[in-house]
Structure 1
Amino acid sequence: MRLHVVSGKGGTGKTTVAAALALALAEEGRRTLLVEVEGRQGIAQLFETEALPYEERRIAVAPGGGEVFALAIDAEQALLDYLQMFYKLGGAGRALRKLGAIDFATTIAPGLRDVLLTGKACEAVRRRRRSGGYVYDAVVMDAPPTGRVTRFLGVNDEVAGLARVGPVHKQAQSVMRVLKSPETAVHLVTLLEEMPVQETVDGVAELRAAGLPVGSVVVNTVRPALLDETALADAARDPEAVAQALATAGLGAARGAAGGTPTKAVRALVAPLLEQAREHAARLELEGAERAEVAALGLPVRELPLLAEGVDLAGLYLLAEELRKQWTE
């Protein structure tokens, strides 16, 4: 696969996953391009760099010497590129920009913006060196959320149907050949919560119905299981044993008491701790049900851990290493 499209419900961390995947795919001297299409500059924030211009710029070096480049696609500039490529407008294209014709065109034909964005990404996928090899080993697109991604990716089918002949028709067909090829995969990011999982299930169905290739599901921010049901049941049956265990571990043992006798204050902690443990166990049960929904999709599932300190640049590299391990299993 050479084009990895990453989508997911808002708030699931799809931009973080896209960035980590680009790093993971850049191992051992490979080159990847990370593409942003929504103009949020989320990639720049993750890599702690200045706002990305409309040009491909190296933003990170992966373990093993690989490189990650990034591109924030600007629809207006992409339209100028398109006009120059097919119609050789030159200075006339710049004049159109000054007159506001480009804003007018993308406003009256909203689908045109998506055509330009997907077209630019696919051009990067197909681009070759003079020696014949690809410029980028992989392209990762931080795509729109799950509710919009199928229409976003399928807009070229609509355009090809409207424009039966000419360069617009050829360009739309060319883009769809890339998007529907075995070299492309749409990965969906979710959390183990009801709404994100349901949106993932719906998104997979929509993508399949549109003939777009679904890759894998990435379950983000997975919390560790601290207690199993047996441990919780044992603790609930004998709260005094919990108090004793806390004292033995050095929490509030009575001064000078043999064997770490728990104090009154420690015993007072037991009930709130058990309540938290019950809440944790209930959450694990709900997460288990959502995990089963994800597994039922029949797709490869990758899981990324919750980073307690949040996702900074170091955390991004940790997530990339985790993805790299799971992608090669």
Structure 2
Amino acid sequence: MSPDFPVRCHVVTGKGGTGKTTVAAALALALASEGRTVLLVECEGRQGIAQLFDTPPLPYEERRVAVTRGGGEVRALAIDVEEALLEYLEMFYNLRRAGRALRKMGAVDFATTIAPGLRDVLITGKVKEAVTRRKDGRRVYDAVVVDAPPTGRITKFLNVTGEMSELTRSGPIKTQSDGVMAVLRSPQTAVHLVTLLEDMPVQETADAIAELTAARLPVGSVIVNMASEPVLPEAALARAVEGAVTGADLAPGLAAAGLPDDPALAEALAAEAVEHAQRWAAQDALRARVETLGRPLAELPLLPGPMDLGCLFELAGRLEDHLGAEVAA
């Protein structure tokens, strides 16, 4: 990545269940290190960010949720589509009062229901506004991290404004649409994909990379989440993968540990060892497949216990090492 075009808009996507919201939050903390200010944007109205940072549900307002070393901070915004539409009407048409009347009539909800693409237009427009916002000649945010829709919808979500631009020849809508796509297709944006070492998430990641590339949207890193380490030594792991571990092999160790001589227990433990080793081998094969996707690769460990702020900072440290160029930009 050229230092003249540091990534400032980080879009995080992944198949449902891969932990993309957790990764987005950890990435925001990593980017906010050393005194930087980062906005973390939630698009889907699930209040997942509030839960991770143990705060009350977020309103349509940018609020600080964490402080990092060097005085950096992460602010969070849960986008409310109705409020975003009112803001849009005021910004481009000076019609906020009329927009409020439309909301009372239920017209805003009706419009976003019958035209779901409108939601994506409003959300990506708000993201672009945050990325480019300036105050006193300086950018308000050093980076914006977007907890985006899942991989199956990410290309359509990011490209919907470009499709709208093609339908309009002039006016504020086309100007806004062109401005959004100029940011999303530029080197200052990167779409990061979160996956697990499982068949379906890896396949969806590969499909999404192909779709994003075809739509001329910039692909960033692939982040393997919840990666586990083998519990067996390398030599024992190789034997177990081949199914060559038996209860008789484990009996001396069980005796040394003071456990009763129980052949059934030994055989059950041997079966567990074989299953663990074969599962690890399958994950390792998927890791090799992820590497063939040709994107920078990061791995985040499977952490024990519930996810809390301490866990987020631990994951942020891993991402800070991986995304050193972006963090230093």
Which residue of structure 1 aligns with residue 144 of structure 2? 139
Alpha-carbon distance in 1 for matches of 2:245, 2:184? 57
- Of 73, 76, 83, which aligns to 2:79? 73
Contact 1:218 1:302 in 2 (8 A): yes
SS of 2:55's equivalent in the other structure is coil
Which residue of structure 2 aligns with residue 257 of structure 1? none
Which residue of structure 2 aligns with residue 47 of structure 1? 53
- Of 258, 261, 264, which aligns to 2:261? 264
Q: Do residues 298 (structure 1) and 294 (structure 2) align?
A: yes
Which amino acid counterpart does residue 7 of structure 1 have in structure 2?
T
Alpha-carbon distance in 2 for matches of 1:277, 1:237? 8
- Residue 268 of structure 1 and its aligned partner are, at CA, apart by 4.2
Cα distance change of structure 1 residues 162 and 268 upon mapping to structure 2, 3 Å threshold: same
Contact 2:10 2:189 in 1 (8 A): yes
- Of 263, 266, 273, which aligns to 2:269? 273
How many matched pairs?
Answer: 316
- Of 221, 226, 242, which aligns to 2:250? 242
Which amino acid counterpart does residue 276 of structure 1 have in structure 2?
E
- Residue 234 of structure 1 and its aligned partner are, at CA, apart by 5.9
Cα distance change of structure 1 residues 233 and 83 upon mapping to structure 2, 3 Å threshold: closer
Which amino acid counterpart does residue 63 of structure 2 have in structure 1?
R
Deviations 1:112-151 (CA, angstroms, capped at 9, x unpaired) = 1110000001100000121x22111110000000000000
Larger radius of gyration: 1
SS of 2:174's equivalent in the other structure is helix
Q: Do residues 220 (structure 1) and 231 (structure 2) align?
A: no
Alpha-carbon distance in 2 for matches of 1:289, 1:159? 41
Contact 2:81 2:123 in 1 (8 A): yes
Q: Do residues 105 (structure 1) and 111 (structure 2) align?
A: yes
Which residue of structure 1 aligns with residue 4 of structure 2? none
1:188-227 correspondence runs (5 A) = 188-227=193-232
Contact 2:185 2:217 in 1 (8 A): yes
Alpha-carbon distance in 2 for matches of 1:251, 1:40? 51
Alpha-carbon distance in 2 for matches of 1:313, 1:233? 37
Contact 2:246 2:270 in 1 (8 A): no
Cα distance change of structure 1 residues 233 and 320 upon mapping to structure 2, 3 Å threshold: closer
Which amino acid counterpart does residue 220 of structure 1 have in structure 2?
N
Deviations 1:227-267 (CA, angstroms, capped at 9, x unpaired) = 2562146684675553323333x342xxxxxxxxxx414x5
SS of 2:208's equivalent in the other structure is helix
- Residue 326 of structure 1 and its aligned partner are, at CA, apart by 2.1
Contact 1:154 1:210 in 2 (8 A): yes
SS of 2:139's equivalent in the other structure is coil
SS of 1:224's equivalent in the other structure is coil
SS of 1:298's equivalent in the other structure is coil
SS of 1:212's equivalent in the other structure is coil
- Residue 298 of structure 1 and its aligned partner are, at CA, apart by 0.5
1:51-130 correspondence runs (5 A) = 51-130=57-136
- Residue 101 of structure 1 and its aligned partner are, at CA, apart by 2.3
Contact 1:228 1:281 in 2 (8 A): no
Alpha-carbon distance in 2 for matches of 1:233, 1:180? 46
SS of 1:52's equivalent in the other structure is coil
Moved beyond 6 Å, runs of 4+? none
Which amino acid counterpart does residue 128 of structure 1 have in structure 2?
R
Contact 2:225 2:299 in 1 (8 A): yes
Cα distance change of structure 1 residues 86 and 279 upon mapping to structure 2, 3 Å threshold: same
Contact 1:5 1:140 in 2 (8 A): yes
**Bigger Cα displacement from structure 2, 95-104 vs 1-10:** 95-104
Alpha-carbon distance in 2 for matches of 1:15, 1:233? 35
Cα distance change of structure 1 residues 9 and 281 upon mapping to structure 2, 3 Å threshold: same
Which residue of structure 2 aligns with residue 32 of structure 1? 38
Cα distance change of structure 1 residues 222 and 176 upon mapping to structure 2, 3 Å threshold: same
Deviations 1:9-40 (CA, angstroms, capped at 9, x unpaired) = 00100001001100111101111000001001
Cα distance change of structure 1 residues 179 and 234 upon mapping to structure 2, 3 Å threshold: closer
- Residue 222 of structure 1 and its aligned partner are, at CA, apart by 0.5
Deviations 1:94-117 (CA, angstroms, capped at 9, x unpaired) = 222212222232233221111000
SS of 1:7's equivalent in the other structure is strand
SS of 1:6's equivalent in the other structure is strand
Which residue of structure 2 aligns with residue 259 of structure 1? none
Which residue of structure 2 aligns with residue 321 of structure 1? 317
Alpha-carbon distance in 1 for matches of 2:313, 2:250? 39
Alpha-carbon distance in 2 for matches of 1:197, 1:237? 30
Q: Do residues 156 (structure 1) and 161 (structure 2) align?
A: yes
Alpha-carbon distance in 1 for matches of 2:245, 2:320? 43
- TM-score, with normalisation over the residues of structure 2? 0.92
- TM-score, with normalisation over the residues of structure 1? 0.92
Q: Give 5+ residue unaligned stretches, structure 1.
A: 253-262
Q: Give 5+ residue unaligned stretches, structure 2.
A: 1-6
Alpha-carbon distance in 1 for matches of 2:304, 2:215? 38
Percent identity between the aligned chains? 62
SS of 1:304's equivalent in the other structure is strand
